[in-house]
Amino acid sequence: MPTIRLGHHLTAPTSGMLNATPYEQLEQTELSDFLALWEEWHRQALARLPHRIHPTAQIHPTAIIGDDVITGPRVRVWEFSTVRAGSVLCADVSVGFNCEVTRSFIGERAILGHRIGINRTLVGADAHLSANLTVAAISMWSLHMSRPEREIVLRTPSGLYRCGTPQFGALIGDRVQTGNSISLGPGLVLGRDCRIASGVTIAARTIPDHGVITAPHASDLHVRRRPTHRRRTVPGA
């Protein structure tokens, strides 16, 4: 089976509270191994931290932060956003208005615009995700999506990659930037410095570093005149 090493896409956190926790090993870990170990890694990290939410983090009073979420230095979580289910917000992350972050790792200085929903996803350092982006983590072909059983599998240049879990959204590399109104996953790996234009829907594959993904836009449309019918006049009318 092909391999997907996280260090080829993400930079491990270098500042903040995650020193001496399993998250230090992020770059050396293979994706499917990480997905299998994620909950245990997070449990160990919580046990080693002196405080779960760094004193310099700014959490808006209307935001909801789960009891098992790790929130690093200078993190900002804006109005009406929810971060839950063992997520990690590394140093200097910004989570915009009305976002939902579930079981996700957000790398240092990453920015989530407003109305973003991501699930079971890893986001690299300095990534910038624009408004109304969604990352799905469950295959719609599961018999019951509330109890997913279909393993997430994605295509790579070397063949099919089995994630070993029915719940995985995306691995979004360092410095990825996106437009708005985008749907990603389940099962997507984006290399470093990728760009995704507005309106794209993509899943179940890998995109190499510096990839550019676009969808048809209004500028690509052919515009023509609608035929007009002259009104006939009746002599003597």
Report the pLDDT value the prediction gives residue 234, as an integer from 0 to 100: 56
Element (H, E) at 191: none
Give average pLDDT by consecutive 10-residue segment, the chain, 237 residues: 93 85 94 96 93 95 96 96 97 97 97 97 97 93 82 94 96 96 95 94 94 74 58 57
13 prior amide bond cis, ω within 30: no
> Within a 10 A sphere around the Cβ of 176, how many other Cβ atoms?
25
CA dist 97 to 29, 111, 183, 212, Å? 32, 11, 18, 27
Q: Can you point out the beta strands (E) in 79-123?
A: 82-84, 88-89, 94-95, 100-102, 105-106, 111-112, 117-119, 122-123
**Is the domain defined by 6-216 classed in CATH 3.40.50.300?**
no
Would you list the domain boundaries of the chain?
Answer: 6-216
Report the pLDDT value the prediction gives residue 236, as an integer from 0 to 100: 59
Both tokens of 211, joined, read 């990839």
Report the pLDDT value the prediction gives residue 224, as an integer from 0 to 100: 59
Report the pLDDT value the prediction gives residue 130, as an integer from 0 to 100: 95
Q: Are strands 153-156 and 159-162 parallel, antiparallel or unpaired?
A: antiparallel
**Residue type, position 42, single letter:** H
Nearest-Å Rg of the Cα atoms of the chain is 22
Both tokens of 76, joined, read 């900002």
